[in-house]
Amino acid sequence: MLARLISLFIFLCTFVVAESLEVNSPNGVLKVTFTLDNGEPRYAVTRFDREVVRTSRMGFVLRDANPLSGGFQILESELRNVDDTWNTILGERKVVRDNFTELTVQLQEKSGDKRRMNIIFRAFNDGIGFRYEIPKQRKLKKMNIMDELTEFALAGDHESWWVGAYLRNRYEYLYSHTPVSEIDVVHTPYTMQTEDGICLSIHEAALTDYSSMTLRRQGKHKLKADLVPWSDGILVKTSAPMKTPWRTILITDTPAELITSDLMLNLNEPNQIEDTSWIKPTKYVGIWWEMHLGVSTWGSGDIHGATTENTRRYIDFAAEHGFDGVLVEGWNIGWDGNWYENGDEFNFTTTYPDFDMPALSKYAAEKGVSIIGHHETGGGVINYERQMQDAFRFYKKHGVNSIKTGYVKHGREIKRIDENGNVQYEWHHGQYMVEHYRRVVEEAAKYKLMINAHEPIKDTGIRRTWPNMVSREGARGQEFNAWGENGGNPPEHTLILPFTRLLGSPMDFTPGIFDLLFEEERPDNRINTTLAKQLALYVIIYSPIQMAADLPENYEANLPPFQFIKDVPADWQETVVLNADIANYLTIARKSRSNEDWYLGSITDHAGRALSIDLSFLDVDRKYLAQIYRDGDDADWKTNPYQITIEERLVDSMDVLRLYLAAGGGQAIRFTPASDADIKRLR
């Protein structure tokens, strides 16, 4: 890691008399004010001295102990400025700048047990983060947290985009768009836009050994941390010393700056894996979409998908077209019958008789392809943890480098055995599961396995600390187009995800469906985009493990547009957002890490758009060949979704492109340095 520590100033003040402290962002725009109000901790945030978060409560309610919320005095404070850089293993950009001003406030109760609590604030140019620390102390050891009092007293009733919490289908819902005053309890990231266009998004970073935070509205537009509880009602079971996750608020001038923020990653600990040579971007195909269409099944039988013969077919296709891996779902014992209710029956080292793992792993290796593993647990966490080490060893033996995990259960249905031997049922997003998901990632690292988690805990930036946590689902993905209610995801869905769910982490959305209507298989559903928009999603929705999700025969019938999927990388040197309007349109350009190529994706909602794109992100004094995949002149997601035009032209950094996007459409462009032959041919 290359560090540029420009300045470090530490101010220590013992037994401070002042009851108010401030910390400003490096550019001076944002200010966090900490106060003690009659001994009770409070904070507020301003931008150019205008309120963003009004004075808000802090602290905890504990079981069998007095609250940690009042009677405090400021014992010491520490202020420091940091400007640093570090390199990502996989990411939207290679080099990340970490620039903040930090205020640490050490509090101690004036009387009684004189317990201590520290609060750390970090002010970045694009937002703030704060966390609580409980140091080791004699009078406070084991803690059962019954309430975290953290508030976000918003300065207005902003418009917002959200998914409700404590629902059956985890995070997998269409987003609602309402004022803050109309929400109840929501998941984070929770994104808002003020009347004057300022964008806010509340989330958390470095979620470790703690329960995940949802937000509950109190009053018109005050939000409160609402931690997902254990089955016994306790929110967090912990002991001192401990640190909470960071509570984060992105505050940006534009929607585009939400997408390019690195605040979340910067609030996580540095990489803990010494040798990262095995953590690589991956493009894959797989035995998956055919099951969602009903063409084949996960369980054994006449139309079992994960057969040796079918897997060989996918391996051949992957090898011919340059894909790294083949995902195989439904290969192991446990899928027959009602697997959703019987997750404990999954066996992660025993194959169905018609799936020959040793032969297939050898065949794939000979073709330069690897099998991508799949562990659906059906929410049977105890069963999975019992087998996990054997399952990881099994995969490494057969050349598997990455695993897609799954936890398909509704709501509060994760079974746990408590200390008395009784069965309890937990939420996906409580502390029990937070700790489980982390155990999986850390254990997988020992076997040099990458994890792509479905039905996951939301990401809070741990991919910096554990970069083998390469991607996850955690939102309503492509499969809902095959069988979901409302006929699939509406055109604006993928224009909300980059400003909400994707602020937390990469998403395995599984784009690239070419058979958009599938009238025979699922006549009541369809893909609600044009073909060109499916290509653009590879640039818009970042994931370092990226699937070409359709059936091989649908690509073989459409090789010219398929070329873009073959070319586009899954990992990036740099990312530039060229225009953005939440839920309406978005254009992103990204530079490849492996060469000098740039790729552009632009998408729109149900309305057609004409957008002007400045190409100043390209190198100066250099001609580029622009390979353009655009909606045809008569394309429309409802009436003419397949029409696509593929064309070439020469461009340079001085050019402005005019993009025409059909209703529900998009455009994908590859910019590659032009050869002399290209220049001669196209002049």
317-326 burial, b for 16+ CB within 10 Å, e for fewer?
bbbebebbbb
Length of the chain: 683
Q: Per 3-state DSSP, what percentage of the chain is helix, strand, and coil (rounded to 5)?
A: 20, 35, 45
Separation CA 552–CA 558 (nearest Å): 10
For residue 403, list its beta bridge partners: 373, 451
Q: Positive or negative CA dihedral for 254, 531, 662, 636?
A: negative
The pair phi, psi for residue 533, each rounded to 5°, is: -65, -35
Burial status of residue 184 (CB atoms within 10 A of its CB: 0-12, 13-18, 19 or more): exposed
Q: Catalytic one among 148, 172, 479, 492?
A: 479
| DSSP notation for 633-667 | TT-BTTTBTT-EEEEEEEE-TT-EEEEEE-TT-EE
Separation CA 414–CA 278 (nearest Å): 32
Q: Are 106 and 97 in contact (CB under 8 A)?
A: no
**Sequence-ordered list of residues with C-beta below 8 angstroms from that of 600, at least 6 positions apart, any chain:** 539, 578, 587, 588, 589, 590, 613, 667, 668, 669, 671
For residue 613, list its beta bridge partners: 657
- Give the orientation angle of helix 357-366 with respect to helix 308-321, to 10 degrees: 10
Separation CA 200–CA 191 (nearest Å): 6
For residue 284, list its beta bridge partners: 325, 547
**Sequence-ordered list of residues with C-beta below 8 angstroms from that of 597, at least 6 positions apart, any chain:** 567, 569, 591, 670, 671, 672, 673
Separation CA 41–CA 69 (nearest Å): 7
For residue 132, list its beta bridge partners: 119
Distance spanning both ends of the chain, measured CA to CA = 45
Separation CA 466–CA 472 (nearest Å): 13
For residue 555, the 8-state DSSP code is: H
The pair phi, psi for residue 250, each rounded to 5°, is: -75, 135
Annotated catalytic residue 479:
yes
Separation CA 303–CA 306 (nearest Å): 9
Separation CA 14–CA 26 (nearest Å): 25
**Sequence-ordered list of residues with C-beta below 8 angstroms from that of 77, at least 6 positions apart, any chain:** 11, 12, 13, 16, 21, 103, 104, 105, 106
Give the tokens for residue 444: 């997988």
For residue 314, what are the CA distances in angstroms to 65, 308, 551?
Answer: 60, 10, 9
Closest CA relative to residue 244, chosen from 132, 119, 360: 132
Alpha-carbon Rg for the chain, nearest whole angstrom, is 26
Separation CA 291–CA 485 (nearest Å): 17
Give the tokens for residue 84: 């640093």
**Which residues carry out catalysis?**
479
